[in-house]
């Protein structure tokens, strides 16, 4: 008999520890640019620190996925939390001693990016071994809700803590990583056979991960479509902030607008397991593309930040359902020895879209009006949505989401009628 997730000791430990850790991380991400600006007085330096974090995670993505598949995944997560606690703790001490430098802050940001590049694939690959196949979709949606809640809570907390003292957000972040480290220490992940080859083989192992993603058409097509939508949405996000500011929308309302993305994500994650069961996979994927596409041009007519926030919540609401459908299929389809690389490849794709999208948005608002920039982003989203709608690969997306081949035996993944 399958144990309910709420009584699954290992999943609960992992979820709770990471919920705390993600609050600390989001706290630091808000405090970091404020700290750099306060010490250096340079907006460019603030961008350098945040850019170092993003670049480190992007560059480390492919090798990190390969290392997750050749090393013990629990140890990877433990070491990542320990190193993160030491890194942010060192910055807190430097601030206490008034010796913090730009170089030190860049180094901490790089460490944070590398640790996330390692931790996320390790957690994704471990999740399949902690819950049953039937519970995987619910576990993925709860993890999505956890991330959204952590981001909202940490974002709100970061500014308050920074106002109390520059070092306070980093002390809190250090404590959250230590809490997560303790919970991970009690985590029991079923053993797997690991036979790491020579370190010189890492390039071939990375290439094997890329070949796996590219060689499976459902994985390949959904990845390309999702990354393309993220690219245009990130461009639109920058455009709408500039447009709102130019129309005199108060900064507080702009902040609320951004927070509503998280609210929509949390609400969507709570209903995602139900929608995942009742909706055809193609419908669940197609719905989020069209929801974003149809709501985007309406932002042109939004009279204030509150309406913009409601639109943003609507855009985020169906995303967890699509993510649950796609991620469940991918994790169950992928052999255990390739799951780290699958996650690493996907993180690189998403990271590239997150980096390139804002650049496109900046170029658009530089050369065309805000309204025109929104319409250009809408056109890109509409093109991707049409591709999703008429793609024969996605129209025939398997209801039997995949096969768990981690132990060498093929087991059909339960479809909606079986759950």
pLDDT at 412 over 50: no
Say yes or no: domain 201-419 is CATH 1.20.1250.20.
yes
Return d(Cα 46, Cα 29) in angstroms, integer.
Answer: 11
Residues 253-273, mean pLDDT to the nearest whole number:
84
Lowest mean pLDDT among 53-57, 364-368, 396-400: 396-400
The pLDDT of residue 405 is 41
Least confident of 9-13, 43-47, 271-275: 43-47
- Who contacts 96 (Cβ-Cβ below 8 Å, separation ≥6)? 167
The superfamily in CATH containing domain 1-187 is MFS general substrate transporter like domains (1.20.1250.20)
Is it the case that residue 151 has pLDDT exceeding 90? Answer: no
**8 A C-beta contact, residue 67 and residue 341:** no
State pLDDT tens for residues 208-250.
Answer: 999 999 998 888 998 899 899 989 998 998 888 888 878 887 8
- The average confidence (pLDDT) of the chain is 86
> Which residues contact residue 39 at a Cβ distance below 8 angstroms, ignoring those fewer than 6 apart?
100, 102
Share of the chain above pLDDT 70, in %: 92
Distance, in Å, from the CA atom of 349 to the CA atom of 121, rounded to the nearest integer, reads: 14
Least confident of 13-22, 175-184, 233-242: 233-242
| pLDDT above 50: residue 324 | yes
pLDDT of 198 > 80? The answer is: no
Cα 157 to Cα 180: distance, rounded to the nearest angstrom: 18
Check: CB of residue 232 under 8 Å from CB of residue 361. no
pLDDT at 418 (0 to 100): 33
| CB atoms closer than 10 angstroms to residue 139 | 23
Give the pLDDT band (50/70/90) at residue 196.
Answer: low
Tokens of 82: 């320990």
Return the pLDDT at 403: 44
Q: What is the pTM of this model?
A: 0.84
Listed range (147-151, 308-312, 391-395) with the worst mean pLDDT: 147-151
Quick one: what percent of the chain has pLDDT higher than 90?
47
3-state SS of the chain? CCCCHHHCHHHHHHHHHHHHHHHHHHHHHHHHHHHHHHHHCCHHHHHHHHHHHHHHHHHHHHHHHHHHHHCCHHHHHHHHHHHHHHHHHHHHHHHHCCCCCHHHHHHHHHHHHHHHHHHHHHHHHHHHHHCCHHHHHHHHHHHHHHHHHHHHHHHHHHHHHHHHCCCHHHHHHHHHHHHHHHHHHCCCCCCCCCCCCCHHHHHHHHHHHHHHHHHCHHHHHHHHHHHHHHHHHHHHHHHHHHHHHHCCCCHHHHHHHHHHHHHHHHHHHHHHHHHHHHCCHHHHHHHHHHHHHHHCHHHHHCCCHHHHHHHHHHHHHCHHHHHHHHHHHHHHHCCHHHHHHHHHHHHHHHHHHHHHHHHHHHHHHHHCCHHHHHHHHHHHHHHHHHHHHHCHHHHCCCCCCCECCCCCCCCECCCHHHC
Mean pLDDT along residues 348-369? 85
Query: What stretch(es) of the chain map to CATH 1.20.1250.20?
Result: 1-187, 201-419
More confident residue, 86 or 2: 86
CA–CA separation, 211 vs 31, rounded Å?
39
Q: Is the pLDDT of residue 64 over 50?
A: yes
């Amino acid at each position: 008999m399958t144990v309910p997730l709420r009584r699954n000791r290992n999943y609960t430990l992992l979820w709770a520890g990471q919920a705390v850790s993600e609050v600390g991380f989001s706290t630091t991400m808000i405090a970091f640019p404020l700290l750099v600006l306060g010490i250096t007085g340079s907006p460019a330096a603030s961008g350098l620190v945040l850019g170092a974090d993003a670049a480190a995670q992007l560059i480390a993505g492919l090798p990190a996925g390969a290392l997750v598949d050749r090393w013990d995944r629990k140890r990877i997560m433990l070491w990542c939390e320990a190193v993160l606690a030491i890194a942010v703790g060192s910055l807190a001490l430097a601030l206490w001693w008034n010796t913090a430098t730009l170089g030190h802050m860049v180094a901490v940001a790089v460490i944070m990016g590398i640790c996330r590049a390692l931790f996320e694939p390790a957690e994704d690959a471990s999740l399949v071994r902690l819950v049953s196949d039937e519970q995987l979709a619910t576990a993925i949606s709860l993890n999505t809700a956890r991330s959204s809640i952590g981001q909202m809570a940490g974002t709100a907390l970061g500014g308050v803590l920074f106002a109390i003292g520059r070092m306070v957000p980093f002390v809190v972040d250090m404590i959250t990583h230590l809490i997560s480290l303790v919970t991970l220490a009690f985590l029991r992940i079923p053993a797997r056979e690991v036979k790491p080859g020579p370190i010189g083989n890492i390039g071939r192992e990375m290439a094997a991960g890329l070949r796996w993603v590219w060689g499976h058409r459902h994985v390949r097509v959904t990845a390309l479509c999702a990354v393309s939508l993220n690219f245009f949405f990130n461009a639109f996000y920058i455009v709408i902030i500039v447009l709102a500011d130019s129309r005199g929308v108060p900064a507080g309302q702009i902040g609320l607008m951004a927070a509503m993305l998280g609210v929509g994500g949390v609400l969507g994650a709570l209903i995602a397991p139900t929608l995942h069961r009742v909706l055809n996979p193609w419908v669940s994927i197609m719905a989020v593309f069209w929801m974003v596409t149809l709501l985007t041009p309406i932002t042109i007519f939004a009279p204030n930040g509150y309406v913009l926030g409601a639109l943003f919540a609507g855009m985020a609401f169906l995303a967890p359902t699509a993510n649950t459908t796609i991620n469940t299929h991918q994790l169950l389809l992928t052999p255990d020895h390739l799951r780290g690389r699958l996650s690493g490849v996907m993180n690189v794709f998403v990271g590239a879209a997150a980096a390139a999208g804002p650049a496109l948005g900046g170029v658009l608002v530089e050369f065309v009006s805000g309204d025109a920039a929104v319409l250009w982003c809408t056109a890109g989203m509409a093109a991707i949505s049409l591709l999703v709608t008429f793609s024969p690969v996605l129209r025939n997306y398997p209801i039997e989401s995949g096969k768990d081949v981690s132990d060498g035996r093929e087991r059909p993944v339960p479809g909606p009628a079986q759950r």
